[in-house]
Amino acid sequence: MKEIDDFRQKKVLVLGLGKSGYSAALLLQHLGAQVTLNDAQDLTHNKRAQQLVDAGIEIVSGHHDVALFQKHFALMVKNPGIGYDNPMVQQALHLKLPIITEPELAYRVSEAPFICVTGSNGKTTTTTLIQLILDHHRQHGHAYKAGNIGIPVSEVVQQATAQDDIVVETSSFQLLGVQQLKPKIAVLTNIYEAHLDYHKTRANYVKAKMNITKNQTATDYFVVNFDQAEWRQLSQQSQAQIIPFSRTNYTKQGAYQQDGTLYYRGEAIISVAEVALPGPHNIENCLAAIAVAKIMKKSNADIRAVLSTFTGVKHRIQYLTTKQGVKIYNDSKATNIEATKVALNSFTEPTVLIAGGLDRGFQFDELVASMQNVKAIVLYGQTKHLMAAAAQKAHIQTIKIVDNLDQAVVSAWPLCQPGDVLLLSPAAASWDQFQTFEQRGDRFIQDIKDLGD
């Protein structure tokens, strides 16, 4: 880690605890900053907060108080989940105080280059594939994964050296805080309509995503999905070298699929049949990973070793088990309509779908065309009636409405027959009944275990 003086003796406000706030506060203190952490929740009995207090960091919790700005902070490090309409953020903007997020802070002290991955869907799988390939049979250093994947970048940079690589999953929320972040390789998996409750408009959302490449130069690389015209046009905003990938064989200048094989610039890498991950969307993720791996001079053997054995990330079309001839998948990460379309299109078997969650004001007619293999649907949460309307348009014979996920599993199981797929793919955020999609997925896993044999 670089021992920089940028923050020494400067007063810094960390807004929001969480994993990233905790790590950012400790890193800033190590760099000589005078840190105050503010969280709207009461942190009196929070173990992490107490650890920060024991380390000499000031904690103000239980409310947001703009009077804190009388301390004359030089910088705000904001939890990415806190919106820009928050009164503390609004006051910081009024005072023209720089506002960054934790990956930006970590980048400034990192000796290791960053490979940053963003997109509406596929970020975590692509990040994981890249990290595994770069670390496979590596002779010097390590490849780490961090960021929105659940591992604070501020922790990883403190152990990573110049011989290492850090593969960072970056969300649109985190990318809003980009000032100096300049990844050696940036990856855009796709852009659909998501998080409009946070960004307000799709244009704002797209602009946030494109911050991943705004500081890149001609010595850097921008790996972009070329399967849609919008994404090809967005790539023109970058000053980096464009490396396209395409499942629909649009381009042969980067990674692409042709006749059941994945290629990189004319060189066959692996057959689709050998890829362990299910579904066409995962072919796109693999192509992105291949492009990065080839830029980083990894061998085809290393790429094949990972792509032929990696079976998926938890909560992302995660295969759980086969019970009485029924294959069961946990896709709790499907927090938007597009993600559930991807999941449904991954299976040809008759499918019993469990879905529903937070109502963000969307209609679900987009799902109708992808429901052709859905034989029954069980719905819960705020969106249950909206999704039921879409299911009726898809002419699904069996539509059940229940109150919660536990009831949904109990109701769905008798509808399954040997050869079917039972799929949790909510097409909505979890926050109406769960704190996170991980919590929702873990509950589903437990509910499946509770069904017995």
List the binding residues for ATP.
Answer: 119-125
Q: Which two tokens stand for residue 27?
A: 């890193």
What's the one-letter identity of residue 376? A
Torsion of CA 272, 146, 170, 431, to 10 degrees: 100
17 three-state secondary structure? coil
The order of strands in the sheet holding 241-246 is 143-147, 165-169, 114-118, 185-188, 221-225, 241-246, 255-258, 261-264, 267-271
376 three-state secondary structure? strand
> Which residue, 401, 342, 411, 353, is CA-closest to 377?
353
Run of H or E residues at 42: none
What φ, ψ does residue 205 adopt, rounded to 5°?
Answer: -65, -45
- As a whole number of angstroms, the distance between CA 305 and CA 450 comes to 35
User: What's the full length of the chain, in residues?
Assistant: 453
Q: Which two tokens stand for residue 358?
A: 């937070």
The 3-state DSSP composition of the chain as helix, strand, coil percent (nearest 5) reads 35, 20, 45
Torsion of CA 80, 111, 179, 146, to 10 degrees: -20
- As a whole number of angstroms, the distance between CA 228 and CA 69 comes to 45
Run of H or E residues at 216: none
- As a whole number of angstroms, the distance between CA 172 and CA 280 comes to 24
Tell me how far CA of residue 105 lies from CA of 146, 282, 292, in angstroms. 13, 31, 24
- As a whole number of angstroms, the distance between CA 126 and CA 287 comes to 9
Question: Is 314 within 8 Å of 441 (Cβ atoms)?
Answer: yes
End-to-end Cα, the chain, rounded Å:
51
417 three-state secondary structure? coil
Torsion of CA 31, 34, 39, 43, to 10 degrees: 90
Ramachandran region, residue 349 (left: φ > 0; alpha: ψ -120 to 50; beta: rest): beta
Binding residues, as ranges, are 119-125
